[in-house]
Structures are given as C-alpha cells and as structure tokens.
C-alpha cells in the first residue's frame, strides 16, 4: 500500500480499495492519456474499457486512432475511470490509473481471454473487433490516485489494484461456461440479486463477468457490481456462493 503524510491524502484502507475495484470493474469507457510521439504533449481520448480476470484494464483500439501509435512508441499512459451522475461532476468518485500498455499478441491465450471478456462487457464491439486494424492492449497498473469525492483522496499501489493467485486463472478458465449457464437458466436469480443486493432498478439483467471478488451485471446501458462476502479461495466455490447470494436476495 502507498501512504502519504500530507493531510489531503487519507490512509488507504479496504473500503478505498473496494471502491477502486468497483470503478474499474463497472467502467465501459474511460479517458486515456498518452504522450504524442511528435510533439511530446499529452494526448487524451475516450476509449472503450473492460477488465482482465485480475482487474487490469483492457482497451480495444484501432491503428487509425492517434493514441495507438502513441502507446506503441511509449507505453506510459494513464486511464481515468468514473461514472458521472447528477449534480457536481467533481463530487462523484473517480480513479486515475498510471499504467504501461502492452499489446496482446493476436491469437495468444491472453488475447483470446481479453477479447472474450471485452465482448462480454461491450457486446456492440462485435461489429468491429475482428477487423484487422483493431488490437487489444492490456494496461498494466503501476499505481493509482483515487478520489472518492470531496476530501476523500487516496494513493493505491499495484498490489491494491490487482488480484493474484492461482485461483484467478483457474476461475477464468471456467468463467464463460458459468456466465452462459446463469444467463440461459437463471435470469430470475440474477434479477433478484440485482434488485435486492445491488439496489438496481428492474431490468433485463445479465451477468457480464465473474472474478475472484465478485461479478458484474448489465441491463442495457446500466451496470452494477456485486461483491462476494469474501474472495473465492477455489474456483469450485463459485456455485455455492451464487446459490447463497440467490437465497439471500430472494429472502429479502
């Protein structure tokens, strides 16, 4: 963890880390800042976003976009994530991740998993993800600045931002079959969880991603995040936890 003696920076705690994870997992787009190779000036643009199994941001970019040759020339970049709401935009939480971009090799296991997770999060990208000039980049976070609202500033390190351990990859191997099963046979359970455990409005909710800490759901443009009572220690624990959450939601 990173701490700071300045009064403006609060001590990083579990609540701050969870907020950062929520912002990262629920984002569908963000502001990417790169260094323009010609002028050296910062260049900011909007990109679609998903996350890898461990929480690292994934972006799908075209070779024709100005930010793509920039991160190819210099992988240093930053990504601002945070959903706006009513009122003052500066009162809403956001996180700025300082990263190094890595282009995933087309057809590699890492690229295949990233494309699968990206499409689950952003299904409309299916219209162009297969075009030859598009590539997936994984943004490796080095540190982050979290602003939870006025007077709630934190500094987070890499270990605060990413999940680790064998269970992360083990769950990723079975994630898609679990998603397909839940979305095909248990939409009523997902709806109950959305309504009672995520305070979400009624809608056609579907699961879009599962990881060690929880799962993501979406209904149209609306997204929500549900955290497990505790992180999974084994991939095989997933079914039990989902059954427990469903029972809890229906009991309410």
Res 143 pLDDT > 60: yes
pLDDT band at residue 156 under the 50/70/90 scheme: very high
Domains of the chain listed by start with CATH number: 14-161 (2.30.110.10), 166-246 (3.20.180.10)
Burial call 99-138: b when 16+ CB within 10 Å, e when fewer: bebeebeeeeeebebbbbbbbbbbeebeeebeeeebbbbb
Report pLDDT digits (tens) over 173-220.
999 999 999 999 999 999 999 999 999 999 999 999 999 999 999 999
pLDDT of residue 193: 97
C-alpha 212/C-alpha 222 separation (Å) is: 22
The percentage of residues in the chain with a pLDDT greater than 90, rounded to a whole number, is 90
Report pLDDT digits (tens) over 6-44.
578 999 999 999 999 999 999 999 999 999 999 999 999
Report pLDDT digits (tens) over 69-97.
999 999 999 999 998 778 888 888 999 99
pLDDT of residue 28: 95
Average pLDDT score over the chain: 94
Residue 211 burial class via C-beta count within 10 angstroms: exposed 0-12, middle 13-18, buried 19 and up: buried
pLDDT of residue 2: 53
CB atoms within 10 A of CB 193: 24
Higher per-residue pLDDT: 149 or 68? 68
pLDDT of residue 251: 87
CB atoms within 10 A of CB 55: 19
pLDDT of residue 4: 47
The residue-averaged pLDDT of 235-250 equals 96
pLDDT of residue 6: 55
C-alpha 45/C-alpha 195 separation (Å) is: 34
**All residues at 6 or more sequence positions from 171 whose CB lies less than 8 Å from its CB, including other chains:** 53, 210, 211, 212, 232, 235, 238
The residue-averaged pLDDT of 111-136 equals 95
**All residues at 6 or more sequence positions from 90 whose CB lies less than 8 Å from its CB, including other chains:** 150
């Amino acid at each position: 963890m990173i701490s700071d003696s300045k009064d403006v920076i609060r001590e990083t705690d579990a609540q701050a880390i969870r907020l950062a994870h929520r912002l990262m997992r629920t984002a569908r787009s963000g502001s990417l800042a790169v260094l323009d190779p010609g002028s050296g000036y910062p260049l900011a643009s909007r990109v679609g976003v998903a996350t890898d199994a461990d929480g690292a941001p994934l972006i799908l970019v075209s070779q024709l976009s100005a930010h793509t040759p920039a991160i190819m020339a210099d992988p240093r970049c930053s990504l601002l994530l945070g959903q706006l709401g009513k009122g003052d935009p500066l009162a809403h939480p956001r996180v700025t991740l300082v990263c190094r971009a890595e282009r995933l090799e087309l057809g590699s296991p890492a690229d295949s998993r990233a494309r699968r997770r990206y499409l689950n999060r952003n299904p409309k990208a299916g219209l162009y993800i297969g075009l030859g000039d598009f590539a997936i980049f994984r943004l490796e976070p080095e540190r982050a600045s979290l602003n939870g609202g006025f007077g709630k500033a934190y500094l987070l390190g890499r270990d605060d931002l990413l999940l680790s351990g064998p269970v992360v990859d083990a769950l990723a191997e079975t994630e898609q079959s679990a998603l397909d099963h839940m979305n095909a046979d248990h939409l009523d359970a997902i709806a109950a969880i959305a309504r009672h455990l995520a305070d979400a409005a009624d809608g056609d909710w579907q699961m879009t991603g599962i990881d060690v800490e929880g799962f993501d759901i979406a209904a149209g443009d609306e997204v929500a995040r549900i955290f497990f009572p505790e992180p999974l220690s084994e991939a095989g624990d997933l079914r039990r936890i989902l059954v427990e959450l469903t029972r809890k939601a229906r009991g309410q």
